[in-house]
Chain A
Amino acid sequence: MNERQSVLAANDPIISVRNVTAGYGDEIIIRDISFDVFAGEIFSILGRSGCGKTTLFKVMTGLLEPVEGAVVIDGEEIRAGESAQTGSVLKKVGVTFQSGALFTSMTLAENAAFPLRLHTRLPADTIERIVKLKLSEVGLEGFEELLPAELSGGMRKRAALARAMALDPKILFFDEPFAGLDPVTSATLDETILKINRSLGTTMVIVTHELASILRTADRVIMLDREEKGIIAQGSPQELRDKSDDPRVRDFFNRSASGPDSNEKSP
């Protein structure tokens, strides 16, 4: 455990996932998962396709009701189907979706201003300042008046991040932020994520399988597995890469497909 990790572990857990079992219909995807995320850390959920990363992400953001268990964010239990108006907990959380989910009919600035106009009563010029600030924090100055359709994939992810950060949430969730980005763009997004984490102290939960980015950004990771329907490893990414005995973890970090259950499960 390095210095930063010990400092972070001394913080209170800001997210507690307690004995969560979740799935769709009768199919259970993840079973009895428990873990804590500490304030200020970059926490990554890893695993191969189909291991339940997205399901866990949906449970943690309140998009999916767990079959059993609960997710507590900053002392409040999060419930599926709660809108940000009724659930104050959702105001502490910003989410960026895999596709960006920007509103296509609005400019970038309008996208980022949307939550501010909805949830605050700040005057227009203050909102405009905040929007400029957020867009410059993610490196999008000068693109404020473009529509999402006029942007590249990396810029769309950045814009989505600016929108998620608009209300200064304590926690940012990312679903596959690096999907479909070239290595250089991924690396600059890594830098942005690190910069925001270090300067604002925002807790970040990143669902991904992008090895390079995990190693560069994440303080702590958990790894899920489809067969196990649960966590098979946790710790810092370097630890898992260098010291894990589990062949599934080694395969993941070595990008090899030699392990005993490396075959994709047939449908």
Chain B
Amino acid sequence: MITVDLPGKNKANPKTTDRSGAGGSAGDAPNLGPSEFALDIHEKTFDELSLVLRGRLWVENAEEVRAALMRAVEHEPLKNVVVDLSEIDYIDSSGAAVLMELHRKCREMNNMLKLARAGPSVRRFLDLVDFDHFKDKPILRPRAAPPLLVQIGGGAERIYHTVQDIIMFIGAASIALYEDLRHPRQAKWDPLWKLIERSGSDAVPIVAILSFLMGAILAFQAAIQLRKFGANVFVADLVSVSICLEMGPLLAAIIVAGRSGAAYAAHIGAMQVTEEVDALRLMGVDPIRYLVSPRIVAVGLTLPCLTIFADIVGILGGCVVSVFALDLTPITYFNQVGRVLEVSDVVKGLIKSFAYGVEIAAIGCLRGFQVRGGAESVGQATTSAVVTSVFVLTVTDAIFAMFYHYTRFL
């Protein structure tokens, strides 16, 4: 609460103190603690308001100081406001921001603000402050969204560029791959073994665990239904055929998309950010040929291997559930698998998985090459590598299903 004494009205006590800050005492010569400040308000003449700030004016109490100053000048239009800074011990940027706010407020009320008697350190600090900054446009507001039509246009343009990128990438990657396979001796295959290890053998444990569980789950769900008809043994049919034709290839592919596809996008994206891709280009190395074709070859080779592995482990998973939940013996289970599962089923799955492998590696690399800017863009590329891969895998699966059905392939 501020009361302002008019001169002559109360000569005995010409000063009223508004004191804020933690534990400030009301004494006249207060010992201010480190986070405390004091604001004394005098009204010397009818057109001058004199404020004395004391203590520290910094980030810990900036809000309180601001509130106190605003209250002090709120109802005092058309005056000279003089702020005495001689007793300020310390001021920081938030203190300066408060004084800027006071300046703005005074201008609004047609007051003249004068900062007086600043000590040398405060003065040097305030010399850096441009008190007219508030006139500028805001800098931290989120930018307004452009009009709807502009957004639609922007979106269309992005789609156009993305499609252009994809077509150019597919072209460049096909040429690179064709050249590499036609002249395998000229190609750089050194990174290939490392890539095969990373995308293939390193993925074996997770593929094993997930496909075992997938086989077990399939068997379990089938068992619940088939038991009603006493058709327990057909669990083997269901598990082996669906694992080899669909679940095995798809599961392995999704795992590899999450591991290697994402890794390729992040790796090439980061290379793009640190200008390594440009360095390759200037050393006369075609980045597509150097980075993309070994990756496509690596994943194209390893994914079918992982798929065979997933098939075997998945069928094993089904066997375990059949033995424990359906009282089948392993021999009956595997006999039934042998009767129903044909080599063509497995081969169909492997052909699909080869196509998946090529797609995953290509999408991962493509997204990596599309990175522009910095860390955020790498994150987006990684996400979109996985999402695009899963989408493309599913579409490819549907195409293969129709192809196999209508052409009576194998």
Contacts and interface: CB of A to CB of B under 8 A. Distances in A.
Interface stretch (B32-40, B90-98, B150-158): B90-98
Interface string A93-113: 000000000011101011001
A200 B101 contact: no
Interface stretch (A1-9, A117-125, A233-241, A258-266): A117-125
B404 interface: no
Nearest to B124: A199
A148 B374 contact: yes
A116 to B, nearest CB: 8
Contact of B133 (A109, A120, A132, A148): A132
Interface in B138-152: 138-140, 143
Interface in B61-83: 62-63, 66
Contacts of B290: none
A11 interface: no
Given A128-B139, A199-B125, A200-B124, A133 B133 contact: yes
A124 B140 contact: yes
B112 interface: no
Contacts of A123: 63
A-side binding surface: helix, strand, loop or mixed?
helix
B140 A128 contact: yes
Contacts of B96: 129-130, 133
A96 B149 CA distance: 42
Contacts, number: 89
Contact of A109 (B58, B98, B140, B373): B140
Interface string B90-127: 00111011101100000000000000000001001101
Contacts of B125: 199-200
Contacts of B403: none
Contact of B129 (A113, A122, A133): A133
B274 to A, nearest CB: 10
B220 to A, nearest CB: 46
A104 B133 contact: no
Given A109-B140, A122-B63, A136-B133, A130 B375 contact: no
Contacts of A124: 140
A130 B93 contact: yes
B134 interface: yes
B28 interface: no
Interface residues of B, number: 32
A130 B97 contact: yes
Nearest to B372: A149
A243 B58 CA distance: 44
Contacts of B62: 122, 126
Nearest to A198: B124
Interface string A142-160: 0011011100000000000
Given A104-B376, A105-B374, A133 B140 contact: no
Contacts of B128: 133, 136-137, 195, 199-200
Nearest to A119: B59
A130 B125 CA distance: 13
Interface string A219-263: 000000000000000000000000000000000000000000000
B278 to A, nearest CB: 15
Nearest to B59: A120
A131 interface: yes
A204 to B, nearest CB: 16
Nearest to B60: A120
Nearest to A167: B59
A69 interface: no
A137 B94 CA distance: 14
Contact of B375 (A105, A137, A201): A105
Contacts of B139: 107, 109, 128, 131-132, 144-145
B136 interface: yes
B130 interface: yes
Nearest to A123: B63
A36 interface: no
A32 to B, nearest CB: 36
A222 B98 CA distance: 40
A140 to B, nearest CB: 11
A120 B101 CA distance: 18
B68 to A, nearest CB: 14
B38 to A, nearest CB: 20
A13 B125 CA distance: 23
A126 B69 CA distance: 14
A106 B314 CA distance: 47
Contacts of A110: 140
Contact of B101 (A121, A125, A133): A125
Nearest to A165: B93
Contacts of B133: 129, 132-133, 136
A107 B124 CA distance: 29
Given A123-B63, A136-B133, A168 B101 contact: no
Contacts of A199: 124-125, 127-128
Contacts of B58: 168
B374 A149 contact: yes
Contact of B92 (A103, A136, A168): A168
Contacts of B59: 120, 122, 167-168
B121 A129 contact: no
Nearest to A108: B139
Contacts of B373: 104-105, 147, 149
5 contacts: A104-B376, A126-B66, A148-B374, A168-B59, A168-B92
| In the complex, the 7 A-B pairs of residues with the closest C-beta atoms, listed nearest first | A104-B374, A105-B376, A129-B97, A144-B139, A168-B92, A199-B124, A109-B139
Given A132-B136, A168-B58, A168-B92, 13 more contacts: A109-B140, A124-B140, A129-B101, A129-B134, A130-B96, A130-B97, A136-B130, A137-B128, A147-B373, A167-B59, A168-B94, A198-B124, A199-B125
